[in-house]
Amino acid sequence: MKLDGNRSFSILALASLLALSLFFSAVLLSVLLYASPREFLSSLLSKEVQFSIQLSLATATIATVACMFFAVPAAYALSRFSFRGKGAIDLLLYLPIGLPPVALGAALLIFFGTPVGKIFSSKFVFEVPGIVLAQFAVISALATKILKATFDSIDEEYEAVARTLGCTRFQAFRRVTLHLARGGLLTTIAISWVRAVGEFGATVMLAGATRMKTETLPIAIYLSLQAADVVKMSVLIIVLAVVSLAALFLIQRFGERWPII
């Protein structure tokens, strides 16, 4: 007896979803069960892990705020305005997305070796602000691309109507477009923040991997692996996973209730 096409496709789709869910659940469970409860708590409460958590949360938040400050108007300009060189700029923003983060970090390091970059190198190279800059460099283009797609999906007629009612372009953007883009905006913030928290490649190239100084959660995982401290590494992986999932859950669950300016 042959299955009809609709049922076959539904089974295939659900089976694929189940397979992916089981795969990631198995990986996460293996990490979770590696350390005993006592080892887990001891590592979690250690000064180094606490430092890594605090540094990651702080730098990722600063980088995300800075990112949104530039990404929102930049995405709006790409979505709504026509100007010479727009295609080249749009293409240029794919470069940080396509480049491996370690290459992007190396490029930043090279920049700080130039005559102009040397003026600021002491503030960023192997320093905490370098972490923020590396995270910003990784997430800004991604955030701009997501927001551009969001603004593209909003009919310009809504803004046109608002302007006929006396709003300036900025007022129409703030009162109409931002509210219509709420879902995409909050999703972009969440994705950018989670990506910043998990950033490693560009950070280790620009800010280095110094314990208790530039030791974010991903760098702490790297240093734990180098020291063959698998227990601490497993704890850090769980912390990073919980932080990321919690942020995405909060946006998904309560995001619609949060006001947009």
Q: Per-residue pLDDT tens for 3-16?
A: 566 788 888 899 99
Question: Is there a contact between 94 and 141 (Cβ–Cβ < 8 Å)?
Answer: yes
What are the phi and psi torsion angles at 65 (to 5°)? -60, -45
Contact 223/211 with Cβ under 8 angstroms?
Answer: yes
Write down the pLDDT at residue 15. 94
Q: Could you report the per-residue pLDDT of 230-255, keeping only the tens digit for each? A: 999 999 999 999 998 888 888 777 65
Burial (CB count <10 Å: 0-12, 13-18, 19+), residue 151: buried
* CA torsion, ordered 142, 144, 69, 205, to nearest 10 deg: 30
Domain positions in the chain are: 1-33, 36-257
Domain 36-257 of CATH type 1.10.3720.10: yes
Per-residue pLDDT tens digits for 172-188: 888 888 888 888 898 89
Q: Model confidence over 185-238: pLDDT tens digits?
A: 988 999 999 999 999 999 999 999 999 999 999 999 999 999 989 999 999 999
Written as one letter, the residue type at 84 is R
pLDDT, tens digit (0-9, with 9 covering 90-100), for 97-135:
888 999 999 999 999 999 999 998 989 999 999 999 999
- In whole angstroms, give the CA distance from residue 60 to residue 38: 29
3-state secondary structure 138-196: HHHHHHHHHHHHHHHCCCCHHHHHHHHCCCCHHHHHHHHHHHHCHHHHHHHHHHHHHHH
